Each structure stands twice: as C-alpha cells, then as structure tokens.
C-alpha cells in the first residue's frame, strides 16, 4: 500500500499542487504586468501627486512714492508663528506651553481653528501673527521647546503716512470671492494663488496689475506627513513695480492740515501737464485698518458715520458749483457773442423774468453798473441770471461740456463720478416735469440741478488758466502719454479776447473790491480766483439766510477755484469746504497756503 | 568533532543550483534592504547576521542524520506550542498583536517556527501511522493543525494563521485525504464562514473589506494597499532606480523593510526586476518539488512538500498582498524581507529539504 500510495496518490497530488502553484505564480506575474506596465502612467501620476507639492510664492507688492520719492505705501516684515497641524497631538497643551512665551488670545485660537477647518492642503497655519521683534526674538530663543511651531516671515502692506492721502492711495484687503471671479475672467487667477491681498480702491486698485508682480512657484518634495524634504525647482516671484505719484506729499499734508476738522475736498493740479499735486478728501480714515481684514465694528463705524469718511469727495463728491461756475458761464456767453464789453447792466439787486418772480442778488441793493469783468470779480448774480436766460440751456451746457463738466475727467483712479449738466430732456425723464426758465436763470449762477466734482472744477480752472493745453488729470507720474485709450480733452477753442476778459475778471477777484480781496494782500504773485457758495437747502420765499441760526449740516458749502501766478499759471486748485459758509473766507485761505508753499517756498 | 566528521558532513555535496539561487535572492534582498531602510546600516548588518545564522543552521541540518530530524519532530511541535502559549501571555506587543518573545539577546516569533514544526509534526504523525490512512488519522492531524492555528489567530495574526491552516490542509491532502471529504469540507466552510467572519476582529474585517475596493477609503484601511500599488505602478517597466523610489524614501510606503520590501524592489527595479526575481523563486520552487519527487518514503516526501508549500505560500501571499489582490495581513517574503526568525526558519526549511534529498530515504540511513 505504501508503495502504491507513494507512486500514485502522493505523486499525482504533488504534481497537482505543483501546477496549481505555477498557475498562481503566473497570475501574480500578470497582476504585476497589469499594474507596472499597463497602469504605469496612472500610478506614476499618483506617486507625483503624493510627493510633490507646488507652493506659490507671493511677490512683494510694489511700493508707492510721491513725486519727491517720499514713501507712501511700504512693505513691512511681519512675523507670525505657524503650526503644522499634523505634527501636533493636542492643540491646547501646545498653546498652553506657547503662551508662556508669547501671549495667545482666544481670537487667535478661534482663527486657527477656522483656517484648519477650511484648509485644503498640508500647510502650516498661523496661531499668532503680527509679532513684535521682541516677541519674535523671545520665541526664537525658546524655539527648541516647540519643534512643531515655526516662525515665519511674511511681508505686509504698511502705510507710513497713516491717514494722509488715504483716498487716492486706497487700501488693500483680503481677496474676496467677487475678486476671484474678476481675476478668473481676466485670466489672472493663477497669478494670485499665493497672494492674500488685492487693491480695493484708489491707486492700489487702479494700478493693481503693476503693483502685484508675478507669482513664483516652488516645487517641493514632501513626505507622507507633508513635511518638506527638499526643493526640486524654484521659479522666483517677480516683485511688483514701484509707482511714483504726481502727488507732492508736503503739499498734501499742508492741505489736509488746513482743513482742520472741516469736511470737504481739494484738488491741486499742474495746468501745464495735468499732474495732480494734492488730492484731499476730508475726513480721512486709516488704510491700515484693512490690511489685517477690518473688524466688523470698525467697518460699521466707518460705513455708517454721518461724516462719510469712506466717500472720496474729490472724484465722487457731487456739489452744486455755485458761483465758481460763473467764469465758465461767462465764456459760454462771450463765445456766443453775448455780453461782450462794453455791454453792461445796471444791477438793482435782483433779476426778474417778465416781472413775475424775482431772483435776488446776494448783495442787497445790487452792484450798480456791472460789465462781465466786474460781474466775475464781485460775483454779480443779477448779471448771470439774465445772461443764462438769454443764452439758453443748450448753448450753456455745450460750452460747459467743453470744460469737462458733466463727464468723467479721465483721472487714473477708479469709480469717478461724472456730475450733471441738467436740461429739459433730463428733467422730463427724471421727474416728468417741464423745464422753467427760472431754472435756467439759477443754472447761470451754479445752483439748480447742476452738479460737479472737485476734480472737474480743478480741470476746468486749469483750462481757463492755460486754454491751449490738452491735459488729462492724472496721479501716476508720467502716465499721461501711456494712457492712449483716453481721449485727451481737446484744447479749448476760445477766442483770445474771451479768455482775456474772463481772466481779468478772475484776477480782479483778489483785488480790492473782489470777493477774495484778502488773498491778494502781502503776496508776491498774482492769484486769479473765483469764490462760490452753494446752498445746501433752498430758502423759503422772503426768508433770509442767517449763518448764525442755521445748523452746521445745513450751512452753505464754501467753494473756491484759483490758479497762480495769473500771468504764468503753474498751479490750479479747486476747493470745497462742506458747510463752510462763504467760499472766499473759508476755502480761500487753504488755497493761499498751498500757493505759498508751491510758489514761494525755498524747498521747491 | 573530528576531521572525519568534517570530511563526511560539512563538505558533502549539496545541490549547487538550489543553494546558488537562494544565495542570489539573499544578495538581492540585502541590496534592496539598504534602500528600503533608507541606509540604516545597523538594520542591514543585523540582517547579514541573520543570514549567517540561517546559513549555519542550513549547513548543520544538511549534514545531520535524517533520523535525528524525525525524532526531534514531536519536540519541535511541543516547543512551538509552548512558545505560542507563552507569547500570548507574556509576549512583546507590536502593531496591536503579541507576536514576539524575548530570549535574552534576541527576540523570536513563535508563529514563524510553526512553518517548520507543523510540517515536521504532521509528517512524523503520518509516518507513525503508516499503512493506516483512515479518517480518524486525518481528523487527529486536523486537530494538530487547529491548535497552533487557533493560538496564532488570537495573537492576533491573521496572515500567519491562515498560512498555517493552508499548509496543514495541503499536507493532509498530500497524505491522501479522499477527494470526497475535501468537497464536503469545502461546503462546510461555506456554511460556517459567517461564524468565522463574526469571530474576526474589526481591524481584520476592515482589511478584508478594503481589499474589495481599497480606493473607497484611501486614508483608512485601504491606505497601505494603495501606497504599495502606487509604488509598483510608478516603477513601470524598468524601475526608478536603486535608492530613487519616492514612495519608499518619503515614507508613503509602510513597513518597507519587512512586509513591503518587495514593493520597494518593484518601485526601484520595475517589472523587469520583478520578472527576474519571480523567475529565481520559481526555479527554487521547481527544484524543491523536483527533489521531493525523488524522495523514497512518506515522511520525507510529506515533510519536504510541506516545507516547500509553506515557503511558497508565504511568497504568494506576500506578492498578492503588495499587489492589492490580498488583504494586508503581514506575511514576509521568504529570504527577502528583514526579520531574523523568518530568515532562519526559511533557511532551516531548505536545509531539511536538502538533507532529505541527500539521504533519499530513511531506510538509507
């Protein structure tokens, strides 16, 4: 039996086992062939995906300087402590240990947890940012206790001038979903992978592309817990370009200081080339608020304040121009062969259409004999009521549009408002009401529906000063020639005679008897100007405006436009002081400070 | 020990092709280990030491009388069982299982010793009961298998316990268990499988479930399977080069020195390297089976076949495991993975096969 068993049963079964195993070996080879040869591409990608992380390197944002190389927007090193979540076992013990070295607040822990919850990749998460140099040093000397925490250096926007010029500088803030959609539509999203912040207003927004720079990338090999092992490839970030502005920061500060606590706006422009020298909108706020993400409380405070600090009054503030419109109305009349000297009127102190409603002059009893030059100098309302009625709205608006009213000036800042030159068609559409000739009369003295921005006033003033220059107001130095897509406002085609008369009128404003005569005293240069007072609300019939009795927020706006020196204009300004009362006395001194600085100071 | 002993035993002719191919695997395994342990020299040296011990045992066993092996069989089994009981009570815990027992200067894994002692015991048992191949004998043999199987299973070490059961069943099959009975047991197993499933620990269930679709839970139980398949797949045809496998170097692959040593090899040497190594193993398998077929008696053939099946079942399970067709159960690749007990046991197994082949028959002694 043993022999038989060995020969047949065991022999056969051994052979059976042998072939079974060989078959399994073969199947295993097939399996390896399938994975290694047929699926090679798939698994190679998986291996790469496992081990290579692409870390974007955010470029340093370009700096912003004024025209004299004074820094306005800077970058500052920021130290933060970051944790690699995979490396720690218990957050609270780590934080407990860490807070012996650096103070950790409840909000830091909250933020850490929030970011941890939303994180996509195996990156480190800040547990504390904005460390002082002292705190950073203290951590470094104790860092051996915290192998899972690293000190990171990042660059952060810093505005060394504080709130000075905040409206044209603008601010940056964390990139929002809306920003991402815009970036994607422009095909720029990839460039922003490593970037946290984006320009939200002012120059920071306008020149975002130049300031941002180009993202770099680091290909890093990481191990299974996401720890970087080595850098495989680096394409460094290209830092953003620096921008020089046309702003003269010293003048900017003088102007802002001159406003004291008053609200309003100021534009100082070089009429020879359109460079904005000062750009004020009051009140201001601190742009640094936004860099770390503004808190809800601060935002509400800024946004809901009656003083509207977030409103950029220089290009978004809409004001009735008041009497500052008169020189431009005068040009319109003269160019239409109306009211040219020696034409004069005898001003009784009021103007009436068909002897019905009377339109009062600001001076009770009137100015006596008034020609167009004197009408500008003493700001004679009666003269301009009649002029406007005879000229008519269509001819007036056409001429005003030539000065840039009713349309954007094209300044290189976002969201400029275009103001309003109203006419019968506009009123019909807006209110479905007929246009009255009385409305034409008050349009002649800059009241009524007409609305202008300070930048428009400044541009129009510099066009009076130098009518043959075609300029676009701009805030980035040497940017005018680059901005091909904007139609330069064509040079005004005004007769030499017209401009001489109007200029004469404006020069007389600062002479004895003019509405801003005090400016002309003790001064080495000649200022041509025009004052204005814009009513915030209409007086009832027979009511007399009494500055003492009117609450502050209903007081008239003070306006002032000027250029100097009169014979060779180098600077033009437009000033609005909200609720400032009379233009000459409130806004005039501000202009004088700027002219003094610009035209007489040694440093310039 | 005198000169005659050396002449008669140490220099006796051994099968050069078998030993040569094993030696080749040992060398490849060492080269691979250097990469797998990321040039951890002490571990590599320790493996060289394991090989020296194993080869010494191999030579010793090649040259002893077969009767000594035969008479040692029940004792070997008894020692293994005692060690298993000890390890379950006082063993060193690793990965949630007690598998190791400390013997002073080194640790051994009693479950590994069963790969020798169980075939030895079964062969001895059938030899004792020669000419009486009845159901009762097979049933008693079954009990001899079940005891160590159970002891290893509760460690818990699913992989090794299945291997032990599998080897035992093949030996009973070779010993002549009727086909009829095999069929009945197969259906019996089907019926009882739900009960077996319930007795498995949750991590073992997880591993088996993850096999069905490892990608369904890529960071859980399927993680090791996936990482190993990525290692294999990214190796491609020619491999990524020695020391250049990112799956190994960056710690994506677990247990690179032991269970997943061949994943490391596959990543770095590609399908060509895999083919070469499997070819060498196939040759060793063929050679062992050929030697078994030349043996003249029941004991030799059963023992030799049992040891061969034990070695190559480990080989199959390990390769199936790392290529994602078998759950991750922790079975090392014989001659290749790092590990003293496994290395010494594998080389002793080959030594016994060689001894049986050289002596051809118990009667010849």
Is residue A578 over pLDDT 60?
yes
Say if the Cβ atoms of A223 and B319 lie within 8 Å.
no
Across chain B, what does the average pLDDT equal? 83
Torsional class of B262: left (φ above 0), alpha (ψ -120 to 50), beta (otherwise)? alpha
Q: What is the pLDDT of residues A98-115, one digit of tens each?
A: 888 888 888 788 777 776
pLDDT of residue A123: 61
Whether the per-residue pLDDT at A604 is higher than 60: the answer is no
Check whether B277 has a pLDDT greater than 90: yes
Confidence of residue A488 (pLDDT cuts 50, 70, 90): low
Between B248 and B351, whose confidence is greater? Answer: B351
The length of chain A in residues reads 604
**pLDDT score of B365 more than 50:** no
**What's chain A's average pLDDT?**
84
Please name the helix (run of DSSP H) or strand (run of DSSP E) that holds residue A332, with its range, or none.
Answer: helix A326-335
Torsion angles phi and psi, residue B55, rounded to 5? -65, -35
Flag whether pLDDT at A436 surpasses 90: no
C-alpha–C-alpha distance, residues A210 and A200, integer Å: 14
Q: Is the pLDDT of residue A42 over 80?
A: yes
Mutate to test the interface with A, among B230, B272, B324 (most CBs of A within 10 A): B230
Chain A CB contacts of B229 under 8 Å are 35, 43
Among A15, A32, A45, A221, most B C-beta atoms within 10 A, so best to mutate, is: A32
Classify residue A477 as exposed, middle or buried by CB count within 10 Å of its CB (0-12, 13-18, 19+).
Answer: middle
Q: Where are the beta strands (DSSP E) in A196-311?
A: 197-199, 216-222, 228-235, 243-244, 264-269, 276-282
- Candidate list A124, A201, A215, A323, residue with the active-site label: A323
What pLDDT, on a 0 to 100 scale, did the predictor assign at position B364?
Answer: 46
pLDDT of A348 above 90: no
Question: Where does the pLDDT of residue A120 fall: very low under 50, low under 70, confident under 90, or very high at 90 and above?
Answer: very low
Chain A contact for B181 (CB, 8 A cutoff): no
**Contact map slice: B 26-85 vs A, CB within 8 A:** none
- Report, as an integer, the average pLDDT of A572-578: 93
DSSP characters for A471-510?
A: ---BSBTT-TTT-TTSPPPPPP---HHHHHHHHHHHHHHT
pLDDT for B291: 92
Q: Nearest CA of chain A to the CA of B165: how many Å?
A: 16
Taking residues A290-303, what's their average pLDDT? 75
Contact B233 A24 (CB under 8 A): no
Q: Which residue has the higher pLDDT, B262 or A601?
A: B262
A437 is catalytic: no
pLDDT band with cut points at 50, 70 and 90 for residue A179? confident
pLDDT at residue B363 tops 60? no
Helix axes B110-128, B158-174, angle to 10 degrees: 20
Q: Give pLDDT tens digits for B73-82.
A: 999 999 999 9
| Minimum distance, in Å, between the CA of residue A139 and any CA atom of chain B | 30
The per-residue pLDDT for range A190-237, each reduced to its tens digit, is 788 778 788 989 999 999 989 998 888 888 877 776 677 777 778 888
User: For the whole model, what pTM was predicted?
Assistant: 0.66
- Taking contacts as CB-CB distances below 8 angstroms, the residues of chain B near A224 are 250-252
pLDDT given for residue A484 in this prediction: 47
Q: Which residue of A has its CA nearest to B270?
A: A36
SS3 state of residue A373: helix
Q: Which of B214, B234, B304 to mutate to test the interface with A (most CBs of A within 10 A)?
A: B234
Residue A472 pLDDT exceeds 80: yes
Task: Answer yes or no: do A50 and B247 touch at CB < 8 A.
Answer: yes
Q: Which of A1, A14, A47 faces B289 most closely, judged by CB atoms?
A: A14
Q: What ipTM was estimated for this complex? A: 0.89
A211 vs A202: CA distance, rounded Å: 12
Percentage of chain A exceeding pLDDT 70: 90
Chain A residues within 8 A (CB-CB) of chain B? 1-2, 5-6, 9-11, 13-14, 17-18, 21-22, 24-25, 28-29, 31-33, 35-37, 39-40, 42-44, 46-47, 50-51, 221-225, 229
Q: Is the pLDDT of residue B50 over 70?
A: yes
Residues of chain B neighbouring A6 (CB-CB closer than 8 A): 296-298, 301
Q: Concatenated DSSP letters for B92-131?
A: EEETTEEEEEEETTEEE-HHHHHHHHHHHHHHHHHHHTTT
Q: Is A107 helix (H, G, I), strand (E, B) or coil?
A: helix
Instruction: Choose among A1, A25, A44: nearest Cβ to B234.
Output: A44
For tokens 């969201």, what's the residue? Answer: A415
Do B112 and B345 form a contact (C-beta atoms < 8 A)? Answer: yes
Q: With 90 as the cut, is the pLDDT of residue A168 above it?
A: yes
* Per-residue model confidence as pLDDT tens digits over A536-564: 765 554 555 565 666 677 788 899 999 98
B233 CA to chain A: closest CA distance, Å?
A: 4
Q: Does B289 touch chain A (CB under 8 A)?
A: yes
> Which of B173, B233, B275 shows the shortest C-beta gap to A39?
B233
């Amino acid at each position: 039996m043993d022999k038989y068993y060995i020969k047949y049963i065991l022999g056969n079964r051994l052979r059976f086992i042998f072939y079974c195993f060989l078959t399994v070996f073969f199947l295993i080879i097939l399996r390896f062939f399938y994975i290694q040869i047929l699926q090679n591409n798939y698994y190679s990608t998986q291996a790469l995906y496992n081990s290579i992380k692409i870390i974007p390197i955010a470029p340093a944002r370009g700096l912003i300087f004024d025209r004299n190389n004074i820094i306005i927007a800077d970058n500052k090193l920021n130290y933060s402590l970051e944790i690699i979540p995979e490396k720690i076992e218990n957050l609270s013990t780590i934080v407990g240990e860490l807070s012996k070295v650096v103070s950790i607040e409840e909000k830091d822990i909250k933020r850490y947890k929030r970011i941890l919850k939303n994180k996509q990749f195996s990156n480190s998460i800040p547990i504390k940012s904005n460390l002082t140099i002292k705190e950073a040093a203290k951590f470094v000397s104790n860092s051996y206790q915290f192998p899972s925490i690293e000190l990171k250096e990042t660059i952060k926007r810093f505005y060394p001038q504080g709130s000075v010029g905040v409206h044209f500088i603008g601010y940056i803030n964390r990139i929002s979903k809306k920003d991402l959609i815009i970036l994607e539509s422009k095909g720029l999203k990839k460039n922003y992978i490593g970037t946290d912040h984006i320009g939200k207003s002012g120059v920071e927004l306008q020149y975002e592309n130049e300031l941002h720079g180009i993202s770099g990338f680091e290909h890093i090999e990481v191990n299974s817990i996401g720890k970087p092992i080595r850098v495989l490839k680096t394409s460094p970030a290209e830092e953003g370009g620096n921008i020089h502005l046309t702003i003269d920061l010293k003048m900017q500060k003088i102007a802002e200081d001159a406003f004291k606590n008053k609200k309003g706006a100021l534009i100082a422009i070089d009429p020879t080339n359109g460079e904005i020298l000062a750009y004020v909108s009051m009140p201001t706020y601190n742009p640094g608020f936004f860099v770390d993400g503004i808190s809800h409380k601060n935002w509400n405070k800024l946004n809901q304040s009656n003083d509207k600090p977030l409103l950029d009054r220089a290009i978004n503030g809409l004001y009735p121009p008041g009497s500052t419109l008169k020189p431009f109305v005068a040009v319109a009349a003269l160019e239409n062969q109306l009211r040219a000297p020696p034409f004069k009127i005898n001003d009784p102190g009021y103007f009436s259409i068909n002897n019905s409603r009377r339109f009062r002059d600001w001076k009770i009893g009137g100015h006596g004999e008034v020609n167009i030059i004197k009408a500008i100098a003493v700001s004679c309302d009666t003269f301009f009521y009649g002029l406007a009625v005879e000229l008519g709205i269509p001819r007036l608006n056409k001429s005003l549009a030539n000065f840039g009213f009713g349309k954007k000036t094209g300044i290189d800042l976002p969201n400029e408002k275009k103001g309003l030159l109203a006419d019968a068609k506009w009123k019909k559409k807006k209110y479905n009401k007929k246009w009255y000739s009385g409305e034409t009369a008050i349009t002649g003295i800059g009241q009524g529906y007409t609305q202008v921005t300070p930048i428009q006033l400044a541009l129009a003033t510099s066009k009076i000063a130098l009518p043959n220059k075609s300029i676009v107001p701009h805030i980035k130095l040497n940017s005018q020639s680059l901005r091909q897509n904007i139609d330069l406002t064509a040079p005004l085609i005004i007769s030499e005679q017209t401009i001489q008369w109007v200029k004469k009128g404006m020069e007389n404003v600062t002479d004895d008897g003019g509405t801003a005569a005090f400016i002309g005293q003790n001064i080495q240069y000649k200022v041509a100007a025009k004052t204005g007072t814009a009513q915030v609300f209409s007086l009832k019939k027979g009511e007399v405006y009494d500055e003492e009795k009117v609450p502050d927020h209903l007081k008239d706006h003070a306006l002032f436009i000027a250029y100097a020196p009169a014979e060779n204009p180098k600077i033009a300004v437009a000033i609005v002081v909200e609720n400032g009362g009379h233009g000459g006395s409130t806004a005039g001194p501000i202009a004088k400070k700027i002219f003094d600085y610009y035209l007489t100071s040694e440093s310039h | 020990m005198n000169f005659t002993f050396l002449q008669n035993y140490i220099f006796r002719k051994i099968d050069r092709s078998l030993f040569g191919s094993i030696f080749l695997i040992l060398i490849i395994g060492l080269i691979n280990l250097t990469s797998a342990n990321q040039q951890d020299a002490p571990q590599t040296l320790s493996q060289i030491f394991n090989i020296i011990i194993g080869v010494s045992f191999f030579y010793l066993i090649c040259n002893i009388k077969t009767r000594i092996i035969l008479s040692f069989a029940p004792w070997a089994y008894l020692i293994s069982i005692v060690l298993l009981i000890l390890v379950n009570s006082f063993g060193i815990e690793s990965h949630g299982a007690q598998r190791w027992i400390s013997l002073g200067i080194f640790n051994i894994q009693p479950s590994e010793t069963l790969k020798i002692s169980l075939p030895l015991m079964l062969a001895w048992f059938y030899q004792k009961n020669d000419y009486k191949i009845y159901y009762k004998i097979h049933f008693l043999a079954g009990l001899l298998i079940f005891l160590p199987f159970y002891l290893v299973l509760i460690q818990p070490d699913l992989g090794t316990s299945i291997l032990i059961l599998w080897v035992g069943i093949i030996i009973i099959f070779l010993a002549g268990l009727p086909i009829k009975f095999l069929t009945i047991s197969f259906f019996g197993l089907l019926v009882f499988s739900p009960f077996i499933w319930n007795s498995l620990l949750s991590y073992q269930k997880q591993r088996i479930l993850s096999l069905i679709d490892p990608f369904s839970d890529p960071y859980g139980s399927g993680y090791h399977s996936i990482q190993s398949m990525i290692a294999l797949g990214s190796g491609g045809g020619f491999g990524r080069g020695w020391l250049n496998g990112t799956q190994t170097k960056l710690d994506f692959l677990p247990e690179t020195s032991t269970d997943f040593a061949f994943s490391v090899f596959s990543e770095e040497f590609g399908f060509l390297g895999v083919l070469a190594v499997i070819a060498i193993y196939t040759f060793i398998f063929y050679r062992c089976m050929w030697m078994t077929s030349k043996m003249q008696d029941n004991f030799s053939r059963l023992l030799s076949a049992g040891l061969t099946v034990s070695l190559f079942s480990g080989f199959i399970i390990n390769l199936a495991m790392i290529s994602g067709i078998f759950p991750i159960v922790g079975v090392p690749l014989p001659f290749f993975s790092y590990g003293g007990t496994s290395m010494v046991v594998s080389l002793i197994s080959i030594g016994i096969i060689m001894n049986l082949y050289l002596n051809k028959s118990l009667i010849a002694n």
